[in-house]
């Protein structure tokens, strides 16, 4: 008997939910806003699907409807990736510790 590859993916999915659960609980509340912006950026890894869709087919008919939707998704995801990571970077750079008291 062979196991359907779907079951493997499902296992990865379920285990990742648990990893996410424990990792996110350990995020300090003061960083919840950067958490949202960074999760936003990484969920744009959906661009992978967009790239495959956009580049599919013969180079001659690259403007098939399916390709065009792929290209559109690339723009959207790219805005998110750059915007998300950079704004997170900008926020995190602001979190500073107290300067040591001058003696």
Partner 1 sequence: MISANLLAIFYLISGVLFILALRGLSSPETSRQGNLFGIIGMAIAIGVTIVSAGSFSVGFLYLLILMLIGGAIGTFIAFKIPMTAMPELVAGFHSLVGLAAVFVAISAFLNPEIFNLGSPGNIKIASLIEMSLGAAIGAITFTGSIIAFLKLRGIMSGSPITFFGQHYLNLALGLILLCLIFYLCKTQIDSWFWTIIIISFLLGVLLIIPIGGADMPVVISMLNSYSGWAAAGIGFTLENTALIITGALVGSSGAILSYIMCKGMNRSFFNVILGGWGATDQSTLNKSIEQKPVKSGNADDAAFLMKNASSVIIVPGYGMAVAQAQHALREMVDALKKNGVKVTYAIHPVAGRMPGHMNVLLAEANVPYDEVFELEEINNDFANCDVAYVIGANDVTNPIAKSDPQSPIYGMPILDVEKSKSVLFVKRSLSPGYAGIDNDLFYRDNTLMLFADAKKMTEEIIKSL
The residues in 30-49 that bind partner 1, with binding defined as CB under 8 A, are 30-49
In the complex with partner 1, which residue's Cβ is closer, 50 or 103? Answer: 50
Count of Cβ atoms closer than 10 Å to residue 75 Cβ: 11
Q: Does 29 bind partner 1 (CB under 8 A)?
A: yes
Distance between CA atoms of residues 100 and 102, nearest Å? 6
Q: Which two tokens stand for residue 60?
A: 């001659």
Tell me how far, at minimum, the Cβ of 96 lies from partner 1, in Å: 6
Q: Does 28 bind partner 1 (CB under 8 A)?
A: yes
Q: Does 72 bind partner 1 (CB under 8 A)?
A: yes
Distance between CA atoms of residues 38 and 89, nearest Å? 9
């Amino acid at each position: 008997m062979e196991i359907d590859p779907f079951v493997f993916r499902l296992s990865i999915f379920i285990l990742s939910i648990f990893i996410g659960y424990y990792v996110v609980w350990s995020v300090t509340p003061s960083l919840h806003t950067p958490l949202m912006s960074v999760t936003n950026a990484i969920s744009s890894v959906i661009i992978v699907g967009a790239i495959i869709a956009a580049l599919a087919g013969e180079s001659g008919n690259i403007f098939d409807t399916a390709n065009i939707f792929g290209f559109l998704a690339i723009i959207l995801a790219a805005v998110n990736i750059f915007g998300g990571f950079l704004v997170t970077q900008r926020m995190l750079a602001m979190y500073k510790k107290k300067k040591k008291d001058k003696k």
